[in-house]
């Protein structure tokens, strides 16, 4: 069991209640929250529904960074709602153009030793500055804003011991890709990854943030680095030296497991289509032809990353067979590049400069052509996330991305006939906070702008006495929330649940056959209850609670799988959907789409023990008993019985 780690120290300092053995539910005090627009609109609607007059956190930020295409009025309607509700509730507002929430939060607000809860799964970016920063669904963030603690399973701490130093053209991104190749995207629920060892001091805060950011893909609760001299230098350069405090593990700290990575042995890597853990070395891949290179996202859009790209591109030209687009992570990064001439170097080399924000990472434009390879510095390459069906998306470091932009092929950057540029650590970032909007000290008189596309969160019914379930869909392993609730062109529907619900599981719709939404609505309208069957690691990826809200709206009452990922599980519970696990994994093979799953006396069964007796009635009329199980706490059960947190 872990002891004396940075994780243990932050948990102890924020402990509210609960057990301290791995797996026990523990309540933690939350110091800071962040939201982004695609999840934030629903989170603030929920905060309003809780009748919370003003947030109770030390600091809460509302960022607009995802939905900025503004094709139609929906996006801007959301922004105006967010801006006004932030003023009314005491939340600081970061408007579109200011940057990606995680990058900006790291630059301007992250404080070592604090807890941060964000309605985005990449909130662990803050772990790069020594925060315990966790992603959650919007409702959990709304509760934290209302002053309630956040519940997690007391984590196992996986210590990653870093030794050595990265070689030329080898990057922080390659370190996290290496770790993904070891730990994979599944089976790490309930763990925190904590970095230690002599290699830590060789990494700057932005490099550490790349690693903790993409740690989200491991499916862990969060990832964290200690706060040390490098952290102090970063905060001083951001003109925030007073926010620094040292926070390191005890010399005799104990981890639940230790993995050692020699930074000197890390080489350029790529996550191949279509999973962040499908990792190969760039050497192994060979000179695959590339059609598109994209640099940006909350993983790799810091000043350091883009300065490196600009230095390599200066005086050169992007290969004519490739398009290169770059989205700087924040206004600070963009303004610095603009003022020191690097932006001009990028433009002169042929880069297309996108606005600061998530952009193509979440399918907001720049979809690749059919049957072409796209190389991205992002963190997710789930099938179809680019907006192109059958996409071939590879995730790489900025070093490897720029090498491909120059050659038109996947290229080990170490083979470029140029010396590796050294980007010195920034001594003074350009600090310009003039776009942040501070809330008035009393928001009572602020009028909240609610255009017609801003709907209320839908209500659910309490858990029925008996569940008369119908399996509306059966899916396989590693189903992500992008499969369940696609983003891209549909992202603008985030505040319109009836419209957004129409595309649940859209990627599984077969031409000429009814969609999941149509089948689920028919089950719901016949008075029965929808059931979703998944296999291992169901609900990976994004924190979007729409992956629970929209199925709920369509009448889904139960999700049964071999394992369900942490954030998605919490979202299901928050919206009154019962998450159950197979006791016998072979039962997954027995159950088919269209079968009935009957659970009698559901509320009582949940209260008695962790086992739930059900009956599977097959389409041919035969029936078999089936034993299922749950991992719900008493509070979770109360929530599910009530039909979700808002009913409670």
If the CB atoms of residues 223 and 227 are measured against ligand MIC, the closer one turns out to be 223
Is residue 62 a contact point for ligand SF4 (CB under 6 A)?
A: no
Contact letters for ligand MIC, residues 335-364 (x by CB under 6 A): ---------------------------x--
Instruction: Provide the 3-class DSSP secondary structure of residue 254.
Output: strand
Quick check: 480 binds ligand SF4 (CB under 6 A)? no
Tracing tokens 């899916």 back to the chain, one arrives at: 475
Closest of 378, 196, 380 to residue 301, by C-alpha:
378
**Is 358 near ligand SF4 (CB under 6 A)?**
yes
- Where in 28-57 is the site for ligand MIC (CB under 6 A)? 38-39
- Give the residue among 415, 324, 412, 423 at the shortest CA–CA distance from 376: 324
User: Segment 359-378, which members bind ligand MIC (CB under 6 A)?
Assistant: 362
Q: CB-wise, 82 or 100, nearer to ligand SF4?
A: 100
Residue 71 CB partners (closer than 8 Å, separation 6+): 492
* Segment lying near ligand SF4 (by CB under 6 A), choices 355-363, 498-506, 527-535, 582-590: 355-363
**544 touches which of ligand SF4, ligand MIC, none (CB within 5 to 8 A by kind)?**
ligand MIC
Q: How far is CA 432 from the centre of its chain?
A: 27
- Could you say whether residue 274 binds ligand MIC (CB under 6 A)? no
Q: How far is residue 350's CA from residue 372's CA, in Å, rounded to a whole number?
A: 20
Residue 121 lies near ligand MIC (rule: CB under 6 A):
yes
Binding letters toward ligand MIC, positions 474-503, x by CB under 6 A: -------------x----------------
Is 120 near ligand MIC (CB under 6 A)? yes
Residue pair 360/330 in contact (Cβ under 8 Å)? The answer is no
Establish if 235 lies at the interface with ligand MIC (CB under 6 A). no
Tokens of 220: 């862990």
HSE-up of residue 389 (Cα within 13 Å, Cβ side): 4
Sheet holding 59-63, edge to edge: 92-94, 59-63, 32-36, 115-118, 132-135
Contact (Cβ atoms closer than 8 angstroms) between residue 102 and residue 119: no
Count CB atoms within 10 A of the CB of residue 179: 25
- The CA distance from 284 to 400, in Å, is 14
Comparing CB distances to ligand SF4, the nearer of 362 and 549 is 362
- Alpha carbons 65 and 366: distance in angstroms, whole number: 16
**Residue 271 C-beta: closest distance to ligand SF4, Å:** 13
Tokens 């519970």 belong to 573
**Least CB distance from residue 357 to ligand SF4, whole Å?**
8
Binding mask 372-391 for ligand SF4 (x = CB under 6 A): ------xx------------
Residues 515-554 that bind ligand MIC (CB under 6 A): 542-544
Residues 101-160 that bind ligand SF4 (CB under 6 A): 120, 122
Q: Looking at 152, 333, 362, 614, which residue binds ligand SF4 (CB under 6 A)?
A: 362
297 binds, among ligand MIC, ligand SF4, none (CB under 5 to 8 A by kind): ligand SF4
Q: Does 210 bind ligand MIC (CB under 6 A)?
A: no
Q: Which is nearer to ligand MIC, 305 or 345 (CB)?
A: 305
546 is a site residue for ligand SF4 (CB under 6 A):
no
Stretch that binds ligand SF4, among 358-366, 426-434, 455-463, 468-476 (CB under 6 A): 358-366
Residues between 132 and 151 that touch ligand MIC (CB under 6 A): 135
User: Residue 616 forms beta bridges with which residues?
Assistant: 597, 624
What is the SS3 assignment for 407-447?
Answer: HCECCCHHHCCCCCCCCCCCCCCCCCCCCCECCCCCCCCCC
Task: Report DSSP state, residue 609.
Answer: -
Residue 302 makes contact with ligand MIC by CB under 6 A: no
Strand 59-63, strand 156-163: pairing: unpaired
Size of the residue set binding ligand MIC (CB under 6 A): 13
598 vs 561: CA distance, rounded Å: 16
Binding positions for ligand MIC, rule: CB under 6 A = 38-39, 66, 120-122, 135, 362, 380, 487, 542-544
């Amino acid at each position: 069991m872990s002891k004396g780690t940075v994780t243990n120290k932050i948990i102890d300092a924020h402990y509210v209640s609960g057990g301290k053995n791995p797996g026990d539910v523990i309540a933690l005090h939350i110091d800071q929250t962040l939201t982004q627009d695609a999840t934030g609109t629903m989170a603030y609607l929920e905060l309003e529904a809780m009748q919370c007059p003003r947030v109770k956190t030390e600091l809460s930020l509302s960022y607009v960074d995802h939905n900025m295409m503004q094709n139609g009025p929906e996006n801007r309607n959301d922004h105006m709602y967010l801006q006004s509700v932030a003023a009314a509730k005491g939340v600081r507002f970061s408007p579109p153009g200011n940057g990606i929430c995680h990058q900006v939060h790291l630059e301007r607000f992250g404080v070592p030793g604090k807890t941060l809860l964000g309605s985005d799964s990449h909130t662990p970016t803050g772990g790069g500055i020594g925060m315990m920063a966790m992603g959650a669904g919007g409702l959990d963030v709304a509760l934290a804003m209302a002053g309630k603690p956040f519940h997690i399973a007391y984590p196992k701490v996986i210590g990653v011991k870093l030794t050595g130093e990265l070689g030329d053209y080898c990057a922080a991104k390659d370190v996290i890709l290496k770790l993904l190749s070891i730990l994979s995207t599944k089976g790490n629920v309930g763990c925190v990854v904590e970095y230690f060892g002599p290699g830590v001091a060789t990494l700057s805060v932005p490099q550490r943030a790349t690693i903790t950011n993409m740690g989200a893909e491991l499916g862990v609760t969060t990832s964290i680095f200690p706060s040390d001299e490098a952290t102090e230098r970063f905060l001083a350069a951001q003109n925030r030296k007073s926010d620094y405090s040292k926070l390191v593990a005890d010399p005799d700290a104990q981890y639940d497991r230790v993995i050692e990575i020699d930074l000197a042995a890390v080489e350029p890597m790529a996550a191949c289509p279509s999973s962040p853990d499908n990792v190969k070395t760039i050497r192994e891949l060979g000179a695959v032809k590339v059609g598109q290179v994209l640099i940006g996202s909350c993983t790799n859009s810091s000043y350091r990353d883009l300065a490196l790209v600009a230095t390599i591109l200066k005086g050169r030209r992007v290969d004519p067979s490739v398009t290169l687009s770059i989205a700087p992570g924040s206004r600070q990064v963009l303004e610095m590049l603009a003022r020191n001439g690097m932006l001009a170097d990028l433009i002169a080399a042929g880069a297309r400069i996108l606005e600061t924000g998530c952009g193509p990472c979440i399918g907001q434009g720049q979809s690749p052509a059919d049957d072409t390879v796209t190389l991205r510095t992002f963190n997710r390459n789930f099938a179809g996330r680019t907006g192109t069906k059958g996409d071939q998306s590879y995730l790489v470091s900025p070093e490897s991305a720029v090498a491909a932009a120059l050659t038109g092929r996947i290229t080990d950057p170490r083979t470029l006939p140029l010396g590796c540029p050294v980007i010195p650590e920034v001594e003074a970032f350009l600090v310009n906070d003039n776009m942040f909007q501070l809330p008035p000290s009393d928001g009572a008189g602020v009028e909240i702008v609610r255009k017609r596309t801003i709907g209320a969160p839908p209500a659910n019914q309490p858990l029925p006495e008996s569940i008369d379930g119908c399996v509306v869909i059966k899916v396989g392993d590693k189903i992500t929330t992008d499969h369940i609730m696609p983003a891209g062109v549909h992202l603008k529907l985030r505040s319109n649940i009836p419209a957004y619900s129409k595309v649940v599981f859209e990627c599984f719709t077969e031409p000429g056959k009814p969609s999941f939404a149509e089948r689920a609505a028919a089950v719901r309208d016949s008075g029965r209850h929808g059931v979703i069957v998944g296999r291992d690691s169901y609900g990976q990826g994004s924190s979007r609670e729409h992956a629970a809200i929209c199925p709920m709206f369509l009448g889904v009452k139960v999700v049964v799988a071999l394992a369900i990922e942490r954030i998605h599980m919490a979202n299901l519970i928050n919206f009154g959907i019962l998450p159950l696990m197979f006791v016998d994994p072979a039962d997954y093979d027995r159950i088919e789409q269209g079968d009935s799953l009957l659970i009698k006396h559901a509320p009582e069964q949940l209260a008695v023990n962790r086992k739930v007796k059900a009956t599977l009635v097959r389409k041919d009329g035969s029936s078999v008993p089936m034993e299922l199980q749950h991992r719900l706490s008493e509070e979770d059960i109360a929530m599910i019985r009530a039909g979700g947190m808002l009913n409670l």
